[in-house]
Amino acid sequence: MEETLRKAALEYHEHGRPGKISVTPTKQLSNQRDLALAYSPGVAAACEEIVIDPMNAFRFTGRGNLVGVITNGTAVLGLGNIGALASKPVMEGKAVLFKKFAGIDVFDIEINETDPDKLVDIIAGLEPTFGGINLEDIKAPECFAVERQLRERMNIPVFHDDQHGTAICVSSAF
């Protein structure tokens, strides 16, 4: 990378508030009543509705517009196996793309695990949080087994960016 671009990129990531994403509320919280609705005791009403019908989680929470962009950092484009922590800026960048171009909220999740079966267990355990999973930068051939097992175990969409994203781009060229 050219040194001028490198310096500009580091400044971009560091200055102001570090990183590229934040969590912001979707509801006002300006008085005691708002607090009582957002948290206790009012939040119990939403919880009870989800107990009655788990699909209500899509009505009363942000789950339906929330994707987990998940990696273990073992195959980061142009960088290779840089590990989970060093891949965080890439995952934050992916989150920015989801929000800017599709209005979809993202939590980037960097998992310090290279064993495919353990990785699957960790990701599958996150299902109640997300409306979908976007796998990113997990090395081959493990990535294919991880995706397959997650699709079998989870009841939400699982998208393997490095595989499906490439296929979509190639198909669109035809």
φ, ψ of residue 65 in degrees (nearest 5): -120, 25
Kindly report, residue by residue over 83-96, the tens digit of the pLDDT. 999 999 999 999 99
> Based on the domain organization, do 169 and 113 belong to the same domain?
yes
> Based on the domain organization, do 166 and 104 belong to the same domain?
yes
Quick check: 159 and 132 in contact, CB under 8 A? yes
Does residue 124 lie within any of the structural domains? yes
Cis? peptide before 128, omega within 30° of 0:
no
Kindly report, residue by residue over 22-48, the tens digit of the pLDDT. 899 999 999 999 999 999 999 999 999
Residue 169 has pLDDT above 80, yes or no: no
Does residue 76 lie within any of the structural domains? yes
The residue annotated as part of the active site, out of 7, 12, 39, 118, is: 39
Does residue 108 lie within any of the structural domains? yes
Does residue 1 lie within any of the structural domains? no
> Based on the domain organization, do 81 and 107 belong to the same domain?
yes
What is the chain's percent helix, strand, coil content, to nearest 5?
55, 10, 35
For residue 149, give the CATH number of its domain. 3.40.50.10380
- Which residue range forms the structural domain that includes residue 44? 29-61
Total domains in the chain come to 2
**Averaged over 18-25, what is the pLDDT?**
90
Quick check: 141 and 124 in contact, CB under 8 A? no
Supply the Cα-derived Rg of the chain in whole angstroms: 19
Number of neighbouring beta carbons within 10 Å of residue 27: 8
Catalytic site includes residue 39:
yes
Q: Which of 61, 78, 104 is the last residue of a domain?
A: 61
pTM of the model: 0.90
Catalytic site includes residue 94:
yes
